[in-house]
Structure 1
């Protein structure tokens, strides 16, 4: 998967130490609330044993016990310091086992694996009368052209029916234009990466013709003639989002493989070289093989991009802390607006130390 890191960037701007929790938030049985509290109690004890302070534990207590738990299977990811909860996100799939850690840098690799990449999506159910639209924020609305024109053609043709049919088709077109106008705004405003459209083929075609090229380019279609509303096609929406994620991941892995085959220095691999690129704010995409990352630690300075194997490699002085290499590198890349890719076993790519990076510009000897 490829992940934009804007949602964890605040972690690079916050003071630690940090508590990181990945827990099962499933709520599908009569005793689900009690089981949820028991799972949190176990994770809380782990944090306390690791040295978490009372203030941070209290912040998490309030977050866990005070939030509404969604029905069904779910996971939850939390990162907090002594002042507040910095990340709080529910996930569709619960973790195989809960994790809790305490340290100077958040435990970012587990939360990225649990949370996955979010694909901002707009969903539309379109028909001749208009559409039901769900924005990236989940808000539902009904859209039409406010036209009083007819939307149904005569069942049988007769003298003069041609003009009536033309008026009906004009109403269909105006309704499609109104829906397209609203969808375009929601796609732009929500920075959507996917537009899922349900409806019969003619209605979808009319909408597609009225959309801006940017919205039409991310459109995925669902054949439906039964007036399905957006919340009834969620399984298909998830499948379409999975396709977007896989396409992005595959593109990123291919980009790294291609760059690795050139001599222009725009791809590096191994902890020392990736850390040097992160210090230079040169990493466009960080690749991590979760099964191959070493258990080594990096030295991290006050600036989250100040990461190195040895403190002597850091230009700026000041206090330092030690953090697991993948977590330190993820935070450094997030701080400089880079993306993260978690590779999979079938990927045809070789990563020394389980890490690599595609660079914005060459760093070191290749410069």
Structure 2
């Protein structure tokens, strides 16, 4: 999973205020209920000593709806100066809460954001299409999902049933269908190139769907998934269609995770290209070797949740103790930090991603591993027990 949306937090002045809200607004009392959730969170932050000015900034922000329909959450992170991150989460937290301290509480946001898929829904008919963007983590406060209408411009789209001259009408109609599909495909290709969605869902008239699929370029075609049951008209069975959309999104999440975990398993099998155990992962993180950090799904509640690490001013300056940190040349600005925060911070510092692993999918010591960009003779190895964590590796595989 890409963590780029968290990068603005690097190097920002502490303290940090991290807010996780149930941002769902449904029913007649939706606005009042949302305001109550924020007031309860604000009271807890005031007791912890958060700045009134920062809390006022957050209050102004969260008073405006996200523009996302249905149940969802929102994470807002502010530093000493104001709000830095405002992000929609695909699932609301079980209970709205906040954390005030020297570092932002990142892992819950990362875990929730792992479920987010940015996608474009394309509803087509023989005249054109409606292109609707899913939030994909972005807050849209302009009144709902962002939709663009494409008018093909060719309106001779109806065939007649019989008669010699009517064959020409049929030909003209089919030609109009094709031209309208080409117009939709051209806009679709442009939007995919501009905004790089994870997925493009296409639905609507069966013939129009086929024509658009044939007309788009290869980059778009690779992202296209047909979802029957939707369209531009009224009277659609929204429940069954939304269920099919949910299935398509779940398949993308699984594919995204499986791709990383397959790389991890293959690298472990080769004895190089991946490491596990906390000490070895710290070593490759501070050398900038990590392409993808892999954490067990229970990282929030067990194992690493109770650990702390020592960090320096720079993200890659991370160690298990102050002495170890000093040994890599960090002589000032050292501080102790929750392991979860320190590890995500180090991953961000080298543009690494993060993937969560379920039980039984990969072998992780200490609930952590990493897929590497590169390795050399000094890189911790899974093949020969020479590293500091090797005895633990042989005893304790999660």
> What is the aligned partner in structure 2 of residue 333 from structure 1?
347
Unaligned runs of 5+ in 2: 136-144, 381-398
The structure with higher relative contact order (CA 8 Å, sep 6+) is 1
3-state secondary structure, aligned to 1:26: coil
> What is the aligned partner in structure 1 of residue 21 from structure 2?
23
3-state secondary structure, aligned to 2:378: helix
Residues 116-131 of structure 1 mapped to structure 2, 5 A cutoff: 116-131=114-129
Match of 2:248 among 240, 244, 248: 240
| TM-score of the pair, normalised by structure 1 | 0.89
CA contact (8 A) 1:302 1:319 kept: yes
Is 1:359 equivalent to 2:359 in the alignment?
no
Q: Specify whether residues 48 and 299 from structure 1 end up closer, same or farther in structure 2 by C-alpha distance, changes over 3 A only.
A: farther
Cα deviation code 1:299-358 (max 9, x no counterpart) = 11111221111222443432022211122111211221111111223x421211111100
> What is the aligned partner in structure 2 of residue 97 from structure 1?
95
> What is the aligned partner in structure 2 of residue 250 from structure 1?
258
Unaligned runs of 5+ in 1: none
Q: Specify whether residues 227 and 53 from structure 1 end up closer, same or farther in structure 2 by C-alpha distance, changes over 3 A only.
A: closer
| TM-score of the pair, normalised by structure 2 | 0.83
CA contact (8 A) 1:74 1:90 kept: yes
Match of 1:151 among 145, 148, 157: 157
Instruction: Give distance in 2, aligned partners of 1:267 and 1:49.
Output: 44
Kindly report the root-mean-square deviation, in angstroms, between the aligned alpha carbons of the 2 structures. Answer: 2.5
Q: Specify whether residues 125 and 32 from structure 1 end up closer, same or farther in structure 2 by C-alpha distance, changes over 3 A only.
A: closer
Instruction: Give distance in 1, aligned partners of 2:118 and 2:25.
Output: 25
Q: Specify whether residues 313 and 359 from structure 1 end up closer, same or farther in structure 2 by C-alpha distance, changes over 3 A only.
A: farther
3-state secondary structure, aligned to 2:316: coil
3-state secondary structure, aligned to 1:305: coil
Q: Specify whether residues 172 and 335 from structure 1 end up closer, same or farther in structure 2 by C-alpha distance, changes over 3 A only.
A: same
Instruction: Give distance in 2, aligned partners of 1:324 and 1:40.
Output: 26
3-state secondary structure, aligned to 1:223: coil
Instruction: Give distance in 1, aligned partners of 2:231 and 2:365.
Output: 53
> What is the aligned partner in structure 1 of residue 81 from structure 2?
83
- What is the aligned length? 360
Residues 16-55 of structure 1 mapped to structure 2, 5 A cutoff: 16-55=14-53
3-state secondary structure, aligned to 2:99: strand
CA contact (8 A) 2:78 2:85 kept: yes
